[in-house]
Amino acid sequence: MRVYHNPRCSKSRQAITLLTEAGFDFEEYRYLSEGVDADDAKILSSLPNIVRKKDVLGDV
């Protein structure tokens, strides 16, 4: 499993902690510094609820 992680985001940090403590095997992908390629962006944009409802798209 790949987790797109933003270390400056408290929810992202909490998710990493929970997954680690639960013993999940995952890849931590720091998308802000590593970027997202076109194929991944296409997959991610097709997922429902990928953007939180309270966020304005320009803020993401």
Instruction: Give the start-to-end residue ranges of the domains of the chain.
Output: 2-47
Residue 30, pLDDT score: 96
Residue 51, pLDDT score: 67
pLDDT in tens, the chain (60 residues): 999 999 999 999 999 999 999 999 999 999 999 999 999 989 988 888 776 667 655 555
**The pTM is what?**
0.72
Residue 54, C-beta contacts closer than 8 angstroms, at least 6 positions apart: none
Residue 44, pLDDT score: 87
Residue 52, pLDDT score: 67
